[in-house]
Amino acid sequence: MLETVLFFALALLAVTAAIGMIVHRSPVYSVLMLIITLFSIAGFYVLLNAPFVAAVHMIVYAGAIIVLFLFVVMLLDLRHESDRFTLTKFSRVLAFIAFLVFLGEAILLVKVAFIDGGLDIGLGGQVSQLGDTPSIGKLLFTAYLLPFEIASVLLLVAIIGAVILAKQNLKPSQ
């Protein structure tokens, strides 16, 4: 019972924070809103027996990426944005329609869940396989060894890219 209460609370929190993020005038507050959303998602991971993923999630996302965002926002000292939404009214309307369509899909999923009796694609195996660190670690270094190594190369490339981009001494073109 606790689990469902917790789920709904986290869900509510995540959605409001997300809306707040895209609506808020000042970018700093948007970043903070995002952090809240990330917290709630971490909560979900725990609910879904994936403690290791939740931990890594908090470290990588909240810890590194968002900090980087904050850093960039501070660096470019973006103040209040006057008109935060895109100029053309036309694209805003279209964007809203897109939003509605995605919601439609969500509702559809609800239909599938409640009316048709849920997705029965999975094999209802025993709960024992918890997402704990040793089992994921074993998996990483056996079945997914190659992608793991490629990922490291990818990160290296990203680092070099960022450095090069930053080093260019670009003069502001009037």
Partner 1 sequence: MQDYIWLIPFFPLLGFLINGLLGKYLSEKVIGILGSAMVFLSFSTAVVLFFQLTQLDPENRLFINTLYTWMATGSFSADVAFRFDALSAVMVLVVTGVGFLIHVYSIGYMHGDRGFARFFSFLNLFTFAMLLLVLGNNFLIMFLGWEGVGLCSYLLIGFWYENPEYAYAGNKAFIVNRIGDFGFLIGIFMIFGYFGSLNFDTVLSAAGMQPEWVITTICLLLFVGATGKSAQIPLYVWLPDAMAGPTPVSALIHAATMVTAGVYMICRTSAMYVLSEVALSVVAIIGLLTALMAATIAITSKDIKKVLAYSTVSQLGYMFLAAGVGAFATAIFHLMTHAFFKALMFLAAGSVMHALSNETNIDKMGGLKNKIGTTYRTFWVGGLAISGILPFAGFFSKDEILWKAFSSPFGSTVFWAVGTLIAGLTAFYMWRMIYTVFYGESRVDKEVALHIHESPKVMTVPLIVLAALSTVGGLVNIPHYFPMFEHFLDPVFMKYINPAAFEASHGSFGLELTFAAISLVVAFTGIWLAKVMYVQRRELPDKIASSVKGLYTLLFNKYYVDELYDKIIVKPFVKVSDAFFYAFFDVKIIDGIVNGSAKIMDSIAGVLRRSHSGVVQFYALSLVVGAIALFGYLIFG
Partner 2 sequence: MPIEYYLIVAAILFSIGVLGVLTRRNAIIVFLCIELMLNAVNLTLVAFSNHVQNLDGQVFVFFVMIVAAAEVAVGLALIVAIFRQKETVYVDEINLMKW
The answer to whether 119 contacts partner 1 (rule: CB under 8 A) is no
Distance CA 17, CA 10 (A): 10
Nearer to partner 1, 102 or 114 (CB): 102
**Residues 87-116 within binding reach of partner 1 (CB under 8 A):** 88, 91, 94-95, 98, 101-102, 105, 108
Distance CA 64, CA 72 (A): 12
CB of 34 to partner 2, least distance (A): 5
Distance CA 81, CA 169 (A): 27
The answer to whether 86 contacts partner 1 (rule: CB under 8 A) is yes
- Nearest C-alpha neighbor of 37 from the set 63, 10, 60, 57: 10
Q: What type of residue sits at position 150?
A: I
List the single partner that 157 binds among partner 1, partner 2, none, CB under 5 to 8 Å by kind. Answer: partner 2
Q: Count Cβ atoms below 10 Å from residue 22 Cβ, excluding itself.
A: 11
Nearer to partner 1, 95 or 160 (CB): 95
Residue ranges that bind partner 1, judged by CB under 8 A: 86, 88, 91, 94-95, 98, 101-102, 105, 108
